[in-house]
Chains A and B, each alone.
Chain A
Amino acid sequence: MTDLHWRSATELAGLLANGEVSAVEIAQALIERADEVDGQLHAYLHRTDERLLEDARASDERRASGQTRSRFDGVPTAHKDLFVTKGVPTTSGSRILEGWLPTYDGTLVKRSAQAGLPLQGKLNMDEFAMGSSTENSGYGPSRNPWNTKSVPGGSSGGSSALVAAGGTPWSWGTDTGGSVRQPASLCGLVGVKPTYGLVSRFGVVAFASSLDQPGPLTRTVTDAAAFLQIAGGHDPMDSTSIPQAVPDYLGSISGGIEGMRIGIVTEIEEAEGTQPGVKTRVGEAYRRLEKLGAELVEVSLPSFEFGISAYYLVAPAECSSNLARYDAVRYGLRVEGPDVVSMTSRTRDEGFGDEVKRRIMLGTYALSAGYYDAYYGKAQRVRTLTIRDLERVFTDVDLIATPTSPSTAFELGAKTADPLSMYLNDVFTVPVNLAGNAAISVPCGTSPDDELPVGLQLIAKALDETTMFRAAYAFEQDLGWAGSEEGRPSL
C-alpha cells in the first residue's frame, strides 16, 4: 500500500481492522519515511526502530488472536523527549540528562502502550520545553517540513515536524505557554492544550508545574480527540489530576456549530502586530465559522495584555525550583570538581543552555526574599485576573477564537538574538495556560505572504473539550484542507 505514512491514525486503525495492512507494514513504512526525511528535519533525538518492529509484531499477534488492546492497537506513535520512558533515553532536550536511562514509564507512556501503540522513538524539543522554535535544544534544532530553512515551532517542534512530514500519524507534546499549539500552527497541524489536570503529568519532566499540560499533535481533529481519549483521565499518581473520566468526544464530534456563540478579540490582534497574511486567513476562518451557523461576538479580555509578563515570572520561578535536582549527584551529566559545590555548579554550567540559565536566574530572582510579593505574588494576581476575565466572557460565549500565533514559521536564527521577540510568539496562547482552560489550534490554510501554514485557536471553558472538538471538526471538514494534497508539505 502506497502513502501509508500519510494516513491518519483513524484511517490506519480502519485498515488494520479490515486486515488490509499489518502493524509491521505500518511500522516499516514509518521507518522508511524517517530514513527519507529525518536527515533534513532532525525531528528525532532517539529512534527505537527495533522496539517499534517488536511492538508491531506483538500487536499483529494480538490482533490475530482477537486480543487487541484498543481500536488503535498497532498504530505507532513517538513522544516528545520529556515523556519518561523506561529503558529509553529521555533528555528533555538537555545535555544535562545525557546518558540517563529511566527506570520507569510515565503515565502517558504507559497508557499509550496499554492501548497497543508501538513506540517509534523520542522527539526533539527546546531544552526543558523552554522555547518556541527548537533552537534551544541541546542537540541542534529541528526544521519545518514546509520550508526547511524555517523553524517547526516549539517547544514540541520535533513532534510537529515529524507529524507534518508524515513520519508518524500522531505524537504527544506538552504545552506550558503554547508549546503544542504554536508548533501545530507553524506546521499546519491540529494541536490541543487540554484543561489543566486532564492529562497526567506523572512521568513528564517538569518545566513549570502549574502550567505544564501534555497535548496531542495530529493531522486531523478526530485523531486529536481519539488520542486525548486514550491518555487522558484521572491518575492517582498526579495530585493535580482531575478526578474524573474523559467524556466520549468522538460521539458528538460531528454535531456542528449551529447556534454556538464564539467570541473574537480584535483588540489583541491589533495590538500585538499580527502578520497581515495571518490576519487574512484567520479573518476568513471567522467568516467560515459564521457561515457554519455560529454567532460571532466581539469580547474584551483586558488581562491578556499582561499574560506574557505574568507568565515570564511564574514559569521561570517554578522552573528554577524544578531544575534544581540536576545537581550531578545521582544521574545524567557529571563534571567533576574538587568538592560537591563545584561539581554541581560546573555540571550546571556545562549542561544547561543559555535560555535555561536565563530562566533559572530570572526565577531565582523573582522568588528571592524581598522580591516575592512584587514579582511572583503580583504574577499570581494577574493569573487570578485572567481566570476571572475568561469566566466572565464564558458566561456569554461558548468559545473564543484567536490566531494561534501572530506569525507563520520564521527562519532559523531570526529571533535567537532577541529573546523578547521570541516570547511574544506566545501572546495568544500563554493566557490559556495561566487560566488552565482548554484550547486547540486548527489549520486554516497557508498565508498568502509566504505559503506557510496559519493556525486558528479555539479556546474553551475548562473541561469543555467536547464543544472545542465539535467546532474544530466542523471547521476542518468545511475547509477541506487537512488530509488533502494542499495540506501536505512537498517534502
Chain B
Amino acid sequence: MSTTKEDLFETTCGLEIHVELATASKMFCGCKVDFGGEPNTRTCPVCLGLPGSLPVANEKAVEYTMKIGLALNCKIAEYSLFHRKNYFYPDMPKDYQISQYDLPLCYAGHVDIAGDWGTTTVGITRVHLEEDTGKSIHVGGSGRIHDSAYSLEDFNRAGTPLVEIVSEPDIHSVAEARAFVSELRILLDSLGVSDVRMEEGSLRVDANISVRRRGETEYGTKVEVKNMNSVRSVGRALEYEELRQREAIEAGEQLVQETRHFDERTGTTSSGRTKEGSSDYRYFPEPDLVPFEPSAEWVDRVQSTLGETPTDRRARFATEYGLGAKDIEVLTATSATADWFETAAKAYGGDAKKVANWIMADLYGLLNEASIELTESKIAPDQLAGLVKLVDGKSISGKQAKSVLAEMFSSGKDADAVAKEKGLEQISDTGALEGIVDEVISEHAEAAAKVRAGNLGTIGFLVGQVMKKTRGQANPGLVNDLLRRKLT
C-alpha cells in the first residue's frame, strides 16, 4: 500500500529547529542558564524585561552560533544585527522578542543526510540567534491558554540563548525528516554548544509540510506543524500529517494553510488557532544593541575549533576500528559515547572490535536495564579494557566475565578486583594444576586408559573432573593441554 502512495504523492518539507545553547549565562544578562529549579529564581531586571533594563549580547552565544553555522557549511555575515519581533504573550517579558530578521548571522549552508534511500543534501537557509521566552503553565480547562482559569509564569528560561536553524524545503519523506533532525542533534552535540536534551525542550522542531500529486507543478497547501520535541515525535507527527493531507487530496477536500499542534499523547495534529490571519511582527532593528561585524580572524578562530565532524568520525570508525554500520551508529550517537569507546579501545590496545562487542552486547543491556547513559555508568573506559584483557589472558572465562561486568557495573570496581573477590580468578599456574591433574588421572584410571588408547573424546570428562576439584577456577584450556601432554 505505502509504496503505491509513494508513487502517487510527493511530500515537500522544510524544518525549523530551535536549539537552546549551553552557555554559562543567558543571551542578554548574567543569569545562569540551567534546567528546572524553583520558578523565577534565575531572573534579573534584564530577563524580566523590567522598565529601564537593557540587553547586552552574550559573545559566547554569538560564537556558538557561528560554530553551528560553520559546521553546517554556512556563510558568516560580515554585518549582522538584532531585530525586535513584536507580539504580545504573557511569558514574553518585554512583549517583543529580540531575534534576527533580514541579516542573520549565518546563511546559505547545507548538510548531508544518509539512510536507506541513499544520501540527500539538505540546504540550510539560515542560522540565527534569538532569546527564549519564559514558560506558561495554564491551569484549568484543556491546558491551553484560551480556556484556562489562570496561568502561572516561570521566567527561568526567559532569555536563554536560542538558535534557529531553518532548512530549505529539500526534505521529501518522513524518514529524511527524522534523519535530518537526528543528524543535527549529533552535530550539535559534537560541537559542544547544546545539551540537545530534546525531552527537556533544549531542541524543538517545527515543520512546514505540503503534499501534492506526483507530477503536479504547483506545491500543495503548506501546513505548519509545531510542538515536536523528539526525533520520534517528528516521525509520528509528520507521518500523521502526510497521511492526513494525502487522504484530503484523495477525497478532493481543500486543505487549509494553517498552524497545527502535535499532541504527543494522541499522536495527531490539530488546528492551532481559530483565527488564522498573517501575523505582522513589525520587525525593526533593535535600537538597544549595536550591529556586529564578526572579523575574519574571529571566524577563522571559530572554524579552527570545529574539530572532527560526525561524518568524518563515522568514516574513521569504519576504517580505523573496522566497525560495522550498526556498531558505528550506536557508538557515535553522541560524542560522549564515541569518546568513551575510543578511550576504552586505546586502553585495551588490541582489536577494538572486541571492545565494541562488549559494549554493544553486554554493557548496553545493563545500561538499558538501569535506564542510564553509557557516560553515566560507574564503569570507566579503562576498566572495561581491563575486563577484556582478563578474558584474553584466560584468567577468567567469557561466561565468568559477564558476571564480573555486572558486579563492576553496580560497584564501579576494577575487573581483577571483582574476579578475586568472587574467587573467579582462574588457576593458570601449571605447577599448581599438575598435581590436581595427576590426582584425577589416578582416580579415573579407566577413562585415562581410554584416552591413552586414542579415544580423545573422553578428555572432556577428565577436564570436567579437574574443574570440579578446583570449583571451576582452573583454566580449562590449560587443563586440556596438561591432560593431552600426560596421556598422549
- In-complex Cβ contact of B55 among A205, A239, A331 (8 A): A239
Q: 5 nearest interchain CB pairs?
A: A324-B95, A367-B282, A209-B287, A210-B287, A84-B52
Cα separation A190 to B49 with both chains bound (whole Å): 34
- In-complex Cβ contact of B287 among A318, A325, A364 (8 A): A318
Cα separation A363 to B56 with both chains bound (whole Å): 25
Cα separation A61 to B247 with both chains bound (whole Å): 84
- The answer to whether A364 and B282 touch (CB under 8 A), given A325-B49, A339-B146, is yes
- Taking CB atoms and an 8 Å cut-off, the chain B residues in 266-305 that contact chain A are 280, 282-284, 287-290
Please give, as numbers and ranges, the residues of chain B lying within 8 Å of A100 by CB-CB distance: 51
B45 within 8 A of A: yes
Contact B284 A376 (CB under 8 A): yes
Please give, as numbers and ranges, the residues of chain A lying within 8 Å of B52 by CB-CB distance: 82-84, 90, 102, 106, 201-206
- Taking CB atoms and an 8 Å cut-off, the chain A residues in 198-224 that contact chain B are 201-206, 208-210
Q: Report which residue of B51, B55, B280 has the largest number of chain A beta carbons within 10 angstroms of its beta carbon.
A: B51
Cα separation A340 to B284 with both chains bound (whole Å): 26
Contact B288 A209 (CB under 8 A): yes
Contact B54 A201 (CB under 8 A): yes
15 A-B residue pairs with Cβ-Cβ distance under 8 Å, sorted by A, are A104-B45, A201-B52, A205-B51, A206-B51, A208-B287, A210-B287, A238-B54, A239-B57, A240-B289, A321-B84, A321-B86, A325-B93, A325-B94, A339-B146, A340-B151
Interface membership of chain B positions 233-250, coded 1 if the CB is closer than 8 angstroms to chain A and 0 otherwise: 000000000000000000
For A97, the closest partner residue in chain B by CB is B51
Cα separation A367 to B50 with both chains bound (whole Å): 23
Q: Determine the main DSSP class of B at the interface with A.
A: loop
Contact B54 A237 (CB under 8 A): yes
B350 within 8 A of A: no
Cα separation A237 to B95 with both chains bound (whole Å): 21
Please give, as numbers and ranges, the residues of chain A lying within 8 Å of B90 by CB-CB distance: 327, 329, 340
- In-complex Cβ contact of B96 among A239, A321, A369 (8 A): A321
B153 within 8 A of A: yes
Minimum distance in angstroms from A334 CB to a CB of chain B: 12
Which A residues have a C-beta under 8 Å from some C-beta of B? 82-84, 90, 92, 97, 100, 102-104, 106, 201-206, 208-210, 236-240, 317-318, 320-321, 324-325, 327, 329-331, 339-341, 344, 364, 367-369, 372, 376
Contact B280 A368 (CB under 8 A): yes
B336 within 8 A of A: no
Contact B51 A324 (CB under 8 A): no
Please give, as numbers and ranges, the residues of chain A lying within 8 Å of B56 by CB-CB distance: 236-239
Cα separation A317 to B287 with both chains bound (whole Å): 11
B145 within 8 A of A: yes
Please give, as numbers and ranges, the residues of chain A lying within 8 Å of B95 by CB-CB distance: 324-325, 327
For A331, the closest partner residue in chain B by CB is B50
B219 within 8 A of A: no
Please give, as numbers and ranges, the residues of chain B lying within 8 Å of A376 by CB-CB distance: 284
Contact A329 B153 (CB under 8 A): yes
Cα separation A84 to B48 with both chains bound (whole Å): 15
Cα separation A321 to B284 with both chains bound (whole Å): 9
For A328, the closest partner residue in chain B by CB is B90
B79 within 8 A of A: no
For A203, the closest partner residue in chain B by CB is B52
Minimum distance in angstroms from B15 CB to a CB of chain A: 25
Contact A103 B284 (CB under 8 A): no
- In-complex Cβ contact of B282 among A204, A321, A330, A341 (8 A): A321
Minimum distance in angstroms from B434 CB to a CB of chain A: 81
Cα separation A330 to B53 with both chains bound (whole Å): 15
Q: Report which residue of B53, B86, B282, B290 has the largest number of chain A beta carbons within 10 angstroms of its beta carbon.
A: B282
Please give, as numbers and ranges, the residues of chain A lying within 8 Å of B290 by CB-CB distance: 239-240
B461 within 8 A of A: no
Q: Report which residue of A202, A205, A236, A320 has the largest number of chain B beta carbons within 10 angstroms of its beta carbon.
A: A202
Cα separation A210 to B284 with both chains bound (whole Å): 12
Cα separation A82 to B53 with both chains bound (whole Å): 12
Minimum distance in angstroms from A87 CB to a CB of chain B: 14
For A327, the closest partner residue in chain B by CB is B95
- Taking CB atoms and an 8 Å cut-off, the chain B residues in 330-360 that contact chain A are none
Minimum distance in angstroms from B126 CB to a CB of chain A: 20
Cα separation A204 to B45 with both chains bound (whole Å): 12
For B281, the closest partner residue in chain A by CB is A369
Minimum distance in angstroms from A99 CB to a CB of chain B: 13
Contact A369 B287 (CB under 8 A): no
Given contacts A210-B287, A239-B55, A240-B288, 14 further A-B contacts (CB under 8 A): A84-B52, A102-B51, A104-B53, A206-B51, A209-B288, A237-B54, A240-B287, A318-B284, A324-B95, A325-B93, A325-B94, A327-B90, A367-B284, A372-B282
Contact A325 B282 (CB under 8 A): no
Contact A325 B51 (CB under 8 A): yes
Contact A239 B54 (CB under 8 A): yes
Cα separation A236 to B90 with both chains bound (whole Å): 29
Contact A369 B54 (CB under 8 A): no
Please give, as numbers and ranges, the residues of chain A lying within 8 Å of B50 by CB-CB distance: 84, 102-104, 331
Contact B288 A90 (CB under 8 A): no
For B278, the closest partner residue in chain A by CB is A369
Please give, as numbers and ranges, the residues of chain B lying within 8 Å of A236 by CB-CB distance: 56
Contact B288 A324 (CB under 8 A): no
Q: Report which residue of A106, A205, A237, A341 has the largest number of chain B beta carbons within 10 angstroms of its beta carbon.
A: A237
Please give, as numbers and ranges, the residues of chain A lying within 8 Å of B282 by CB-CB distance: 320-321, 364, 367-369, 372
Cα separation A461 to B403 with both chains bound (whole Å): 82
Q: Report which residue of A83, A209, A364 has the largest number of chain B beta carbons within 10 angstroms of its beta carbon.
A: A209
Q: Report which residue of A97, A329, A368, A372 has the largest number of chain B beta carbons within 10 angstroms of its beta carbon.
A: A329
Please give, as numbers and ranges, the residues of chain B lying within 8 Å of A203 by CB-CB distance: 52-53
Please give, as numbers and ranges, the residues of chain B lying within 8 Å of A340 by CB-CB distance: 90, 145, 151
Cα separation A206 to B283 with both chains bound (whole Å): 18
Contact B287 A330 (CB under 8 A): no
- Taking CB atoms and an 8 Å cut-off, the chain B residues in 83-103 that contact chain A are 84, 86, 88, 90, 93-96
Contact B96 A324 (CB under 8 A): yes
Cα separation A53 to B249 with both chains bound (whole Å): 79
Please give, as numbers and ranges, the residues of chain B lying within 8 Å of A372 by CB-CB distance: 282, 284
Cα separation A455 to B478 with both chains bound (whole Å): 109
Cα separation A344 to B90 with both chains bound (whole Å): 9
For B282, the closest partner residue in chain A by CB is A367
Minimum distance in angstroms from B253 CB to a CB of chain A: 31
- The answer to whether A202 and B54 touch (CB under 8 A), given A239-B289, A240-B290, A344-B88, is yes
Cα separation A330 to B154 with both chains bound (whole Å): 11
Contact A327 B88 (CB under 8 A): yes
Please give, as numbers and ranges, the residues of chain A lying within 8 Å of B86 by CB-CB distance: 320-321, 324, 367
Please give, as numbers and ranges, the residues of chain B lying within 8 Å of A106 by CB-CB distance: 52
Please give, as numbers and ranges, the residues of chain B lying within 8 Å of A329 by CB-CB distance: 90, 153
Please give, as numbers and ranges, the residues of chain A lying within 8 Å of B94 by CB-CB distance: 324-325
- In-complex Cβ contact of A92 among B48, B51, B289 (8 A): B51
Cα separation A102 to B45 with both chains bound (whole Å): 9
Contact B280 A103 (CB under 8 A): no
Please give, as numbers and ranges, the residues of chain A lying within 8 Å of B153 by CB-CB distance: 329-330
Interface membership of chain B positions 145-159, coded 1 if the CB is closer than 8 angstroms to chain A and 0 otherwise: 110000101000000
